[in-house]
Amino acid sequence: MLNPIISYRKSSLVYVFSWIFVGLLHFVILFFFFDINLIISISDAFIYSGMLAAFGIGIWYIVRYLAFDDESYHLILIDHLVTGGIIILMWLFGGYFILTNLFSANEFYTDFLEKSLAWRFVYGILLYSVIVMVYYLINYYKNYQQKIIEQTLLKQTLQESELNLLKSQINPHFLFNSLNSINSLIITEPERAREMILELSDFLRYTVRNNENEKVSLQDEMDNIRKYLDIEKIRFGSRLVLEDDIEEGCQQMLLPNMILQPIFENAIKHGVNESTDAVTISTRCFVENGELRIFIGNNFTPGNLSRKGKGIGLENIRKRLMLIFKRHDLLNIVKYRDIFEVQITIPQHP
């Protein structure tokens, strides 16, 4: 980590003005309380404060070396006592040597300077301690910020990985069913099998093209869903009936891509596939309180829903909505009489 004093202009200004303030206090004490000559008071304050300010820049590297992560507290304390004592002695006698040479003719001041070495040493230790504590606080704050950034990036990476995993679980399941259907049609109805392959190709092309885009418009998503349903209509014919009621304002609203496909797949699997009668899959979309509301329902033969599968589809949707929008109330399942309905809410704000 770079020295915060010399690396950032704002920190440098704060550091300089802090030492100017310390120097002024030093001057005021000498001039007003000890009746030291004006020039000598200014020189004493400037030399001692300036030297310690210069040493203070180097103290940063000592703090970085004596990190709490590497050693126990009592060892760090001992190290600072030794290091701080050496630095303060260098500061103390360095200033003493300069000032006694500058004002050797003033016996009153040189005598005062010699007698004040003890309290100057204590004063220097206190300032050293303040500098060290400030540096440790800066170090802690920088490390804390870095950890937050790393945790955020890790969380984002995990979220993206989980979203990709959830999406990747959909396609193999659908492909398995579609290829089985094509296989059964190749011999008996080759034209229908060919038509189904073309529809499947268009469907997969959309999936690959939008794989990296987390959100798409409802219109694009429904266009792709219709390709999927066209494939299934080849399989089931008149047993599959579709009804759409989509408000005009919904078309350009955004939703996670491939979020609806598992719902229609469930409707086919548990509704059309399990019934000898016609099954109607209805899709209603409208805007409520600025959010996109999508209701997808189908009639079913009572008793068929009791046979549980792995539940990958709806559980994937629930997890994806939670990961993207951080809400647990965006998917609801409603069963009444012989209707099974999935209700999804898609927030439109970030």
Residues 86-115 have a mean pLDDT of 94
Position 185 pLDDT exceeds 90: no
Q: Are residues 110 and 35 in the same domain?
A: yes
Q: Which residues of 257-268 are buried (b: 16+ CB within 10 A; e: fewer)?
A: bbbbbbbbbbbb
When pLDDT is cut at 50, 70 and 90, the band that residue 309 belongs to is: low
Structural domain boundaries, residue 137:
4-149
Q: Are residues 238 and 332 in the same domain?
A: yes
In the block, residue with structure tokens 């885009």: 213
Q: Are residues 53 and 85 in the same domain?
A: yes
Which pLDDT tens digit goes with each residue over 212-256? Answer: 457 889 998 998 888 888 888 877 888 899 999 999 889 999 998
Q: Are residues 143 and 178 in the same domain?
A: no
Q: Are residues 129 and 173 in the same domain?
A: no
Q: Note whether residue 161 is domain-resident.
A: no
Residue of higher predicted confidence among 118 and 302: 118
**Tokens in use for 234?**
């080849």
Q: Are residues 28 and 122 in the same domain?
A: yes
Phi then psi for residue 70, to 5 deg, are -95, -30
Q: Please say which residue of 118, 149, 180 terminates a domain.
A: 149
DSSP state of 330: S
Q: Note whether residue 158 is domain-resident.
A: no
Three-state secondary-structure class, residue 69: coil
Residues listed for the chain: 350
Q: Note whether residue 37 is domain-resident.
A: yes
Q: Note whether residue 335 is domain-resident.
A: yes
Q: Are residues 118 and 192 in the same domain?
A: no
Q: Are residues 325 and 214 in the same domain?
A: yes
Residues 96-102 have a mean pLDDT of 95
Distances (CA, A) of 251 to 193, 218, 228, 285, 297: 32, 5, 19, 9, 19
Q: Are residues 179 and 128 in the same domain?
A: no
Q: Are residues 200 and 326 in the same domain?
A: yes
Q: Please say which residue of 149, 184, 219 terminates a domain.
A: 149
Residue 298: its H or E element: strand 291-299
Position 161 pLDDT exceeds 70: no
* Residue 342 belongs to domain with CATH number: 3.30.565.10
Q: Note whether residue 190 is domain-resident.
A: yes
Residue of higher predicted confidence among 339 and 214: 339
Q: Please say which residue of 95, 115, 149 terminates a domain.
A: 149
Q: What pLDDT is recorded for position 7? A: 86
What is the number of domains present in the chain?
A: 2
Q: Are residues 200 and 324 in the same domain?
A: yes
Q: Are residues 119 and 240 in the same domain?
A: no
Position 146 pLDDT exceeds 50: yes
In DSSP terms, 131 is beta-bridged to none
Q: Note whether residue 156 is domain-resident.
A: no
Which pLDDT tens digit goes with each residue over 196-216? Answer: 888 888 877 776 665 545 788
Gyration radius of the chain's alpha carbons:
38
When pLDDT is cut at 50, 70 and 90, the band that residue 71 belongs to is: low
Q: Note whether residue 277 is domain-resident.
A: yes
Q: Note whether residue 276 is domain-resident.
A: yes
Q: Which of 51-60, 224-233, 305-314 has the highest mean pLDDT?
A: 51-60
